[in-house]
């Protein structure tokens, strides 16, 4: 496995169309990746929620593309974020489980992040918000390609109360707010986090000064415990959860407004999505997966299929919906292509460039997607078909795992809620998908031996 600096340091400035991409722009774009935490597929107005008001995200979808078949690579925080930043299934990096304040691990030095790729291509890189890929200094964002960082190193519920699974039921330390690699506050006022994060993100946008930037803006919410500022608290018909989502929508609006005011609107790709599905055991404090089954912690569609919106005026056609299958791992090669940056040599990427789909030049292709939960390979999707071999029968806390007596097959194009097992009627498809699972597992195992 190469180190993170072992790549070619050449790129073609301004040539986004290099290598067959559908894009051709006068300059390399700024890229803003906005990531919510535990937001469900059905939690936005443009994805069908009846009472949560999200006018800015709805407008963003109207000015860009809304995806209906976009996946996180894991149903919980740490592995899903690792996959987004590395373009790889989290099992390849070893980041398969949620990290806690007592965890010693984090993002390995051997992993190349998209921030490193962008930085080496001449981008200014900044991260704001929840990291959750290791809290010790060697694992923080500024050690993995980001020029600056402000945020929490892990989830906002990991505060001085006995944490789930903490050795000896010990209390967690005070929740730290970190700037770069220094703790600047403990137990910050969480009702102000969204506002503070937004102010920090706007500094990056306003301070661009002609140099392209990559901003990774990872919200703490709507992970529980929920907090909204006074301006939004008590305003949503959906209750506190709705207040929190509506404040995130406000934040997205502030980002888009700042891009317009600084003349960078048409030079910037903005993407919005979520790390995994809603935390259903939190009941009214959790979100909705819409018509999809289950939520966070499971490999049912509700746990891993996410809302995803992309906007780039003049480059992405506005107001359309794409059913093209994609995943968070695709943003790594897509962002690199748009930046004119080479992909890291000797690194297996599981994502693929989606530039042509974003540009409306391609409907996408039939792809294979593998559903991992921790170190278990539990399901595969190819085209409309999804095969489960292992699944969760209860969502999170505790996640009881059930090994199926026989594989369960669903046509998620016809049956997106995964209600009707049609394995008996389609034995050839079952055999094909079982072979894909076996081949993928063998490839992962062989790759691990080569490290």
H-helix or E-strand containing 408? Answer: strand 401-411
Contacts 24+ apart (CB under 8 A), 432-438: 432/382, 433/380, 433/382, 433/385, 433/387, 433/407, 433/409, 434/387, 434/389, 434/407, 436/368, 436/380, 436/382, 437/370, 437/377, 437/380, 437/387, 437/389
Q: What pairs with residue 272 in β-bridges? A: 34, 309
Give the tokens for residue 40. 């469900």
Question: CB within 8 A of 369, min separation 6: which ones?
Answer: 71, 325, 327, 380, 381, 382
CA distance 316 to 87: 22
CA distance 93 to 99: 14
CA distance 272 to 307: 8
Other beta carbons less than 10 A from residue 389's beta carbon: 18
Other beta carbons less than 10 A from residue 106's beta carbon: 23
Whether 177 contacts 183, CB under 8 Å? yes
Enzyme catalytic residues: 77, 132
- Cα-flanking dihedrals φ and ψ of residue 395, to 5°? -90, 115
H-helix or E-strand containing 61? Answer: helix 55-62
Q: Which residue has the tokens 């003049």?
A: 314
What pairing do the DSSP bridges indicate for beta strands 385-392 and 401-411? antiparallel
Helix (H, G, I), strand (E, B) or coil at 393: coil
Indicate the angle between helix axes 193-206 and 240-261, nearest 10 degrees. Answer: 10
Outline where 262-402 has alpha helix (H). 301-304, 331-339, 355-358
Cα four-point dihedral sign 50, 55, 61, 62:
positive
Residue 157 DSSP symbol:
T
């Amino acid at each position: 496995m190469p180190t993170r600096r072992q790549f070619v340091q050449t790129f073609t400035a301004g040539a986004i169309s290099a290598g067959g991409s559908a894009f051709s722009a006068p300059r390399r774009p700024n890229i803003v990746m906005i990531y919510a935490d535990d937001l469900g597929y059905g939690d936005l107005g443009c994805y069908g929620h009846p009472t949560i008001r999200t006018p800015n995200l709805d407008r963003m979808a109207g000015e860009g593309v809304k995806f209906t078949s976009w996946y996180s690579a894991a149903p919980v925080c740490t592995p899903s974020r690792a996959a987004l930043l590395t373009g790889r299934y989290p099992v390849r990096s070893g980041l398969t489980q949620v990290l806690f304040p007592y965890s010693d691990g984090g993002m390995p030095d051997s992993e190349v992040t998209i921030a490193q790729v962008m930085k080496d291509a001449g981008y200014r890189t900044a991260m704001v918000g929840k990291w959750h890929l290791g809290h010790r200094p060697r694992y923080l964002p500024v050690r993995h390609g980001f020029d600056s960082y402000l945020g929490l190193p892990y989830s906002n519920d990991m505060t001085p109360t006995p944490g789930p699974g903490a050795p000896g039921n010990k209390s967690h330390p005070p929740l730290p707010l970190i700037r770069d690699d220094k703790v600047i506050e403990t137990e910050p006022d969480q009702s102000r986090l969204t506002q503070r994060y937004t102010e920090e993100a706007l500094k990056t946008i306003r301070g661009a000064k002609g140099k392209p930037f990559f901003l990774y803006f990872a919200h703490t919410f709507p992970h529980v415990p929920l907090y909204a500022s006074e301006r939004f608290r008590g305003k949503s018909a959906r209750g506190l959860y709705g207040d929190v989502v509506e404040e995130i929508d406000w934040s997205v609006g502030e980002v888009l407004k700042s891009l317009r005011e600084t003349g960078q609107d048409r030079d910037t790709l903005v993407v919005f999505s979520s790390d995994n599905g809603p935390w259903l055991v939190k009941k009214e404090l959790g979100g909705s997966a819409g018509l999809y089954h289950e939520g966070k912690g499971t490999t049912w569609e509700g746990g891993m299929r996410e809302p995803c919106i992309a906007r780039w005026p003049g480059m992405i056609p506005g107001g359309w919906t794409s059913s093209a299958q994609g995943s968070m791992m695709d943003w790594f090669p897509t962002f690199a292509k748009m930046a004119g940056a080479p992909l890291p040599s000797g690194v297996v990427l599981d994502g693929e460039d989606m530039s042509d789909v974003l540009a409306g030049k391609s409907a996408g292709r039939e792809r294979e997607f593998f559903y991992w939960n921790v170190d278990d390979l539990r399901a595969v999707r190819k085209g409309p078909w999804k095969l489960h071999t292992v699944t969760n029968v209860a969502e999170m806390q505790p996640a009881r795992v059930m090994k199926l007596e026989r594989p369960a097959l669903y046509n998620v194009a016809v049956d997106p809620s995964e209600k009707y097992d049609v394995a008996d009627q389609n034995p050839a498809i079952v055999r094909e998908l079982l072979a894909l699972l076996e081949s993928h597992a063998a490839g992962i195992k062989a790759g691990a031996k080569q490290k």
